């Protein structure tokens, strides 16, 4: 990734499909000066979703790139990433984006996602939303969590950047567990994106190395 001056916020494109809670959280972090990025464009796979309204209310360029308007995954992916190039996005942040896209070579290592489990458990095709948490409860694991990872051309497969564990409690429902995992996501995703923005994240095959924060005590995620 090209080095930027630390004073310039990194331009980012956000991809979403629905409620936009993740976008909301990123905007709150930017607003309170805890995340040095600029959201240059929000792209939704669906029209009329709350995520688009959040972008509109924040005065952010937003548009719909709907899979139904394209004949293949390849054509759809080209349209999505062309839209990201138009705003010179250095990083593409998937934020509740449920469509599969193929990553073009110029965006290799520049697309991130957050998944609501500890990958490689409870992930892959079909594991999204409450299905993930229901599967966790059905299996009976005691620990779940969330994973920020680079996106490659397989579902939930690219190199892992950060993970946060969340205990599964007696009597948990999928809704209660989802809420606690999402609280963890609200800390973890901005922390990972901030590390990328500071050029502290390096991909070494499947291992992601993160430089410590210069002149800082142990890193805080809140
Ligand atoms: C979360 O479960 C996250 O792990 C996944 O999408 C959900 C958030 O979607 N990637 P949204 O931001 O509420 O639309």
Q: Give the model confidence (pLDDT) of 98-108 as tens digits.
A: 999 999 999 99
Please report which confidence band the pLDDT of residue 21 belongs to, taking 50, 70 and 90 as the band edges: very high
Tokens 């934020």 correspond to 95
Q: Does residue 3 register a pLDDT over 90?
A: no
Catalytic status, residue 115: yes
* Cβ atoms of 54 and 26 closer than 8 Å: no
State the pLDDT at residue 218: 62
Identify the residue whose C-alpha is closest to ligand 1 atom 8.
96
* Cβ atoms of 210 and 192 closer than 8 Å: no
Q: Write out residues with Cβ below 6 Å of ligand 1.
A: 16, 18-22, 51, 95-96, 114-116, 185
214 C-alpha to ligand 1 centroid (Å): 31
Quick one: fold of 8-107? Rossmann fold (3.40.50)
| Catalytic site residue from 46, 62, 115, 133 | 115
Identify the residue whose C-alpha is closest to ligand 1 atom 9.
96
Give pLDDT tens digits for 69-119.
Answer: 999 999 999 999 999 999 999 999 999 999 999 999 999 999 999 999 999
Nearest atom in ligand 1 to 132's CA: 2
Sign of CA dihedral 47, 51, 54, 60: negative
Please report which confidence band the pLDDT of residue 156 belongs to, taking 50, 70 and 90 as the band edges: very high
178 C-alpha to ligand 1 centroid (Å): 10
State the pLDDT at residue 215: 76
C-alpha distance from residue 93 to each of 10, 12, 44, 61, 103 (Å): 12, 7, 12, 15, 13
Please report which confidence band the pLDDT of residue 4 belongs to, taking 50, 70 and 90 as the band edges: low
Q: Does residue 165 register a pLDDT over 80?
A: yes
State the pLDDT at residue 194: 97
Identify the residue whose C-alpha is closest to ligand 1 atom 6.
96
Best of 114, 119, 123, 164 to mutate for ligand 1, by most ligand atoms within 8 A of CB?
Answer: 114
Q: Does residue 8 register a pLDDT over 90?
A: no
Secondary structure class of 9 (helix, strand, coil):
coil
Nearest atom in ligand 1 to 178's CA: 2
1-15, 51-65, 154-168: segment of lowest average pLDDT:
1-15
Q: Does residue 13 register a pLDDT over 90?
A: yes
111 C-alpha to ligand 1 centroid (Å): 16
Tokens of 156: 């939930």
State the pLDDT at residue 157: 95
State the pLDDT at residue 134: 98
95 C-alpha to ligand 1 centroid (Å): 6
Best of 95, 111, 128, 186 to mutate for ligand 1, by most ligand atoms within 8 A of CB?
Answer: 95
CA 29 to chain centre: 14
* Cβ atoms of 145 and 166 closer than 8 Å: yes
Please provide the average confidence, as pLDDT, over all residues in the chain.
Answer: 95
Quick one: DSSP state of residue 71? S
Please report which confidence band the pLDDT of residue 214 belongs to, taking 50, 70 and 90 as the band edges: confident
129 C-alpha to ligand 1 centroid (Å): 7
Q: Measure the CA–CA gap between 169 and 176, rounded to whole angstroms.
A: 10
Percent of residues, the chain, with pLDDT higher than 70: 94
State the pLDDT at residue 1: 55
State the pLDDT at residue 220: 60
Superfamily of domain 113-222: Formyl transferase, N-terminal domain (3.40.50.170)
The ranges of the chain annotated as CATH 3.40.50.170 are: 8-107, 113-222
């Amino acid at each position: 990734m090209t080095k930027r001056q630390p004073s310039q916020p990194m331009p980012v494109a956000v991809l979403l499909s629905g409620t936009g809670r993740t976008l909301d959280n990123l905007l709150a972090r930017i607003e309170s000066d805890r995340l040095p990025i600029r959201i240059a464009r929000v792209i939704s796979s669906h029209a009329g979703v709350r995520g688009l309204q959040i972008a509109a209310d924040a005065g952010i360029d937003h548009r719909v790139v709907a899979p139904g308007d394209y004949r293949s995954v390849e054509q759809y992916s080209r349209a999505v990433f062309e839209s990201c190039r138009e705003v010179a996005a250095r990083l593409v942040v998937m934020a509740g984006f449920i469509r599969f896209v193929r990553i073009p070579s110029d965006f290799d290592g520049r697309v991130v996602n957050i998944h609501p489990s500890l990958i490689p458990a409870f992930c892959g095709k079909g594991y999204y939303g409450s299905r993930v948490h229901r599967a966790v409860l059905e299996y009976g694991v005691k620990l779940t969590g969330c994973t920020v990872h680079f996106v490659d051309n397989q579902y939930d497969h690219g190199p892992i950047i950060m993970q946060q564990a969340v205990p599964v409690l007696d009597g948990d429902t999928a809704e209660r567990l989802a809420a606690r995992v999402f609280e963890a996501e609200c800390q973890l995703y901005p922390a990972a994106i901030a590390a990328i923005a500071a050029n502290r994240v390096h991909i070494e095959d499947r291992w992601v190395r993160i430089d410590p924060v210069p002149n800082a005590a142990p890193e805080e995620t809140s």
